[in-house]
């Protein structure tokens, strides 16, 4: 808890620049979530500038939600610049397994981008190991528990911290396994909550070299903010609004009250 | 009313995958509206995957709001896959008639995509028949009543169900003509409400082969949710939030209370 | 004040078509803000239609937030059509100075697009004069006061009205200098508030040939709506919603109450 509060303070003081190459659906949400938590978001995807942008950023977030060839090219270039600059690369394999193109792109991302953290739902994480499985769109159809073994294997194989989000979130580096039980079922009715978790992971990874802990902090903050938001929400519309307010208002008192040990 | 409640239940139980190739402005809203009503949205536009994505979807929604050549190519490929898979194709001719390129694209969409349902405002529907008419941006300048004749003609010519949204919404297959009087004027002050109606039509068309009835159900749900939302809204900002909450909370009781026969 | 109320009325009566070629992050917000204030937004970026769209619009808004080559091409074509049609071109140099590509694009925009109004934060305006300065992402790191000299110089060099937004907003044509002290610090925690100011400037520039006054009106309306919104906001989520409601509800009484002379 001390480390979480310390890192939240750091995000707000340093306001790390998080470079996002992400999908059209969630850009607005993720930019707003990063601002609300205290980070400084930038969205830039042109091959003409992603290397320069990544090199002045504190972390790089790659999300293939609405992928197309020129965006994948940009992600590969940005990842190379990020590794050169020594900043973490967070990868969100949205819809992995849904189409052959998406699976093939995921394979390229794992091999050529060498992500530092991978965050997906259970279906996506399992699909990264088994591209023949078909996910139903971008929602999770497998339980997060059943994917823990896949996550550990994926972490060991890639060297990345792997995060599965779901009713219970799991964070693993292949040996350590942490879980977060905070959150609310209605969060799955707001588009881009998973993508937002990935972006927020970018903010915490920018201030903590222990990427397992950084990911745990990000998922905890997401879960707590979601719970606080749900108390005042009548549906997914108000949940989304309350969620940004909750991220903005989070402090040690609220965290101590809500985080389940 | 029985059929509407049955189909709303079906959407929530089956959670049909609705594949959207739509415009940048509304992607977030339409994804959220589809989630709120119980469907499962996916946005994917790359020519490298749209055929695969459409083939696992339950309906395909095509919207030319922020069109460009590669997106039109993707729409044509996706529509072919949709027809092969036997799923309905819903077409939203945003801004039809505003520019020659937009009119020409609409012509191609009608000929090559052979939509199952077309939903537009009065100007757009009239422009589909008469591409020489200029619409003022993407808002409706013609009344929906005056466009009913055009809608019927368009339906007969294309074999599609045609929906005109406006103060009164009309649904026709060329012979049948149904109308929906639910709704609220402030809905026109929220961007993408029309596009959302098209996406929600995709959800209902996925669970009901009678596309005239499915379209009627979608427009009724939009109108009722808009009315409920407007009661609590101080302006278009809160209307948009309340609208998603209302979609999420809709049930038989609320429908029976609000639907005007 | 009389002129501001007159122009707000004009925007609502004429509902000018504002053609936006803007970034993915803010399209939804800016479209909603334009609708809320009474204007008619259209987003269109294809080289196949931007000239036609600009020629039927009342103003053109160019924003390089998520720039890429084909979008820059479209901006240049649209600007030429706008100048031919005699409508104002409003330019938002998002992130100017952050990368060489962004700086180079800004130079091209100044030379080839010849904007009528330029609105940016202090860093961006200073970067337009000195492309070697590095901005931190798209947020302002310089104070708006320190950039006033740069703004005057830029206005004189380009012939454009230059607007710096910040805690105090400045509007200058090189000789006149006006300021707006309305606004609220939390507005900087909502993504795209600057881009929204640029779009709203497009609405006011469409109804007033005195572009210095039009810009002043736009910044005043932004600041007042932000203040009204902040009174009811618990955080940036509710601020964004309340802001659109406030734009929609603005009238002479509210303006007289809030505008600081």
C17 to chain B, minimum CA–CA distance in Å?
7
Chain A residue at shortest CA distance from B240: A237
Are the C-beta atoms of B67 and B91 separated by less than 8 Å? no
Closest partner residue to B69 among C46, C240, C242, by Cβ?
Answer: C46
Are C99 and A36 inside 8 Å of each other by CB?
no
The pLDDT value given to residue B143? 65
How far is C203 from C199, CA to CA, in rounded Å?
A: 7
Q: How far apart are CA A239 and CA A237, in angstroms?
A: 5
Confidence of residue A140 (pLDDT cuts 50, 70, 90): low
The subunits that touch chain C, with at least 3 C-beta pairs less than 8 Å apart, are: A, B
What are the chain B neighbours of A240 within 8 Å (beta carbons)?
A: 32, 241, 244
For residues A183-211, average pLDDT:
98
CA distance to A18, A109, A152, C61, per residue, from A112 (Å): 21, 5, 20, 38
B140-175 in b/e burial notation, b at 16+ Cβ within 10 A? bebebeebbebbbbbbeebebbbbbbbebbbbbbbe
Residue located via tokens 């100007």:
B123
**Among C235, C238, C241, C242, the residue to mutate for chain A (most A Cβ within 10 A):** C235
Residues of C in contact with A243 (CB under 8 A): 237
Flag whether pLDDT at B255 surpasses 70.
yes
Q: What's B16-73 look like in SS3? A: CEEEEECCCCCHHHHHHHHHHHCCEEEECCCCCCHHHHHHHCCEEEEECCCCCHHHHH
Domain with residue C31: its CATH number is 3.40.1190.20
Per-residue confidence band for B137, with pLDDT thresholds at 50, 70 and 90: very low
pLDDT over 90 for what percent of chain A?
Answer: 92
CB contact under 8 A, A236 and B24: no
Instruction: Identify the pLDDT of residue A133.
Output: 38
Number of Cβ pairs < 8 A linking chain A and chain C: 102
What is the layout of strands, in order, in the sheet containing B40-43? B40-43, B17-21, B59-63, B89-92, B117-121, B161-165, B169-172, B177-180
- Chain B positions touching C17 (Cβ under 8 A) are 136-137
Q: Does the CB of C45 have a partner CB in chain B at under 8 Å?
A: yes
Structural domain boundaries, residue A173 = 2-258
Torsions phi, psi for B83 (to 5 deg):
-65, -40
| Structure confidence at residue A142 as a pLDDT band (50, 70, 90) | low
Say if pTM beats, i.e. exceeds, 0.90. yes
Average pLDDT over residues A195-211: 98
Condensed to tens digits (0 to 9), the pLDDT of residues C122-135 reads 999 999 987 533 44
Position C129 scores a pLDDT of 84
Report, as an integer, the average pLDDT of B54-83: 97
- Cα-based angle C96, C97, C101 (whole degrees, multiple of 5): 85
Nearest CB to A245; choose among C28, C138, C234:
C234
Residue with tokens 């980070």: A39
Which DSSP string corresponds to C82-133? HHHHT--EEEE-TTTTSSHHHHHHHHHIIIII--SEEEEEHHHHHHHH-TTS
B184 torsion bin: left (phi>0), alpha (psi -120 to 50), beta (else): beta
CB contact under 8 A, B36 and A99: no
- Closest CB from B17, B28, B243 relative to A29: B28
Q: Return all residues near C210 (Cβ < 8 A) that are at least 6 apart.
A: none
Domain count, chain C: 1
User: In a 10 Å sphere around its CB, with 0-12 CB exposed, 13-18 middle and 19+ buried, how is residue A195 labelled?
Assistant: buried
Tokens of B225: 């949710």
pLDDT digits (tens, 9 = 90+) for A43-67: 999 999 999 999 999 999 999 999 9
Which tokens in the block code for residue B191? 């961007």
SS3 C235: coil
pLDDT tens track, chain C, 261 positions: 899 999 999 999 999 999 999 999 999 999 999 999 999 999 999 999 999 999 999 999 999 999 999 999 999 999 999 999 999 999 999 999 999 999 999 999 999 999 999 999 999 999 998 753 344 445 555 666 678 999 999 999 999 999 999 999 999 999 999 999 999 999 999 999 999 999 999 999 999 999 999 999 999 999 999 999 999 999 999 999 999 999 999 999 999 999 987
A237-252 burial by CB neighbour count: b if 16+ within 10 A, else e? bbbbbbbbbbbbebee
Q: How many CB atoms lie within 10 A of CB B108?
A: 13
Outline where DSSP puts E strands in chain A: 17-21, 40-43, 59-63, 89-92, 117-121, 161-165, 169-172, 177-180
- Lowest-pLDDT range of A232-236, B141-145, C208-212: B141-145
């Amino acid at each position: 808890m001390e480390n979480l509060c310390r890192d939240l303070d750091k995000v707000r003081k340093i306001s790390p620049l998080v470079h996002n190459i992400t999908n059209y659906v969630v850009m607005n949400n993720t930019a707003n979530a990063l601002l609300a938590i205290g980070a400084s978001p930038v969205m830039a995807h042109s091959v003409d500038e992603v290397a320069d942008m990544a090199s002045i950023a504190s972390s790089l977030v790659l999300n293939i939600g609405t992928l197309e060839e020129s965006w994948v090219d940009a992600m590969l270039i940005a990842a190379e610049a990020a590794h050169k600059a020594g900043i973490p690369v967070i990868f969100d394999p949205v819809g992995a397994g849904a189409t052959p193109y998406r699976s093939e792109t995921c394979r390229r991302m794992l091999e050529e981008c060498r992500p530092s953290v991978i965050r997906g739902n259970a279906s996506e994480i399992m699909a990264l190991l088994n591209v023949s499985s078909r996910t139903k769109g971008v929602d999770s159809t497998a339980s997060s528990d059943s994917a823990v073994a896949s996550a550990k294997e994926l972490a060991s194989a890639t060297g990345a911290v792997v995060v599965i989000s779901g009713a219970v979130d799991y964070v693993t580096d292949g040996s350590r396994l942490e879980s977060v039980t905070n959150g609310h079922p209605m969060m799955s009715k707001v588009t881009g909550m998973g993508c937002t978790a990935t972006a927020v992971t970018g903010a915490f990874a920018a201030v903590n070299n222990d990427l397992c802990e950084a990911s745990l902090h990000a998922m905890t903050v997401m879960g707590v903010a979601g719970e606080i938001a749900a108390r005042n929400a009548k549906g997914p519309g108000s949940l989304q609004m309350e969620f940004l307010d909750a991220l903005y208002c989070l402090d040690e008192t609220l965290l101590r009250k809500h985080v389940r040990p």
